[in-house]
């Protein structure tokens, strides 16, 4: 089964996405702090909490978070 990485900009959207994936039988974790990840067993929804940030701040935060995730896991679809 493919491993997905979904990047969300808020908590509500990330949790809703995680629930919808779980309903389809896809093991999914919602992650707020990727630096604390140890083992990624399935798909992931990365909650960046970046919706209300200025554009450059949002870009920098998302870039750093995704970079951290890619150091710890591989995904088939982003």
> SS in 3 state form for 28-51?
EEEECCHHHCCCCCCEEEEECCCC
Q: What is the pLDDT of residue 40?
A: 85
Q: Is the dihedral of CA 71, 74, 42, 78 positive or negative?
A: positive
Q: What is the pLDDT of residues 16-69, one digit of tens each?
A: 999 999 999 999 999 999 999 888 889 999 999 999 999 999 999 999 999 999
Q: Count other C-beta atoms under 10 Å from residue 29's C-beta.
A: 15
Q: What is the pLDDT of residue 13?
A: 96
Q: 35: closest CA among 70, 78, 59, 7?
A: 70
Q: What is the pLDDT of residue 23?
A: 97
Q: What is the pLDDT of residue 56?
A: 98
Q: Radius of gyration (Cα) for the chain, nearest Å? A: 12
What predicted TM-score, i.e. pTM, was given to this entire model? 0.91
Q: What is the pLDDT of residue 38?
A: 87
């Amino acid at each position: 089964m493919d491993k997905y990485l979904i990047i969300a900009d808020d908590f509500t959207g990330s949790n809703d996405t995680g629930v919808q994936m779980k309903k389809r039988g896809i093991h999914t974790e919602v992650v707020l702090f990727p630096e604390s990840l140890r083992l990624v067993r399935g798909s992931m929804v990365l909650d960046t909490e970046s919706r209300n940030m200025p554009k450059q701040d949002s870009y920098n935060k998302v870039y750093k978070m995704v970079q951290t995730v890619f150091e710890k896991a591989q995904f088939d679809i982003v």
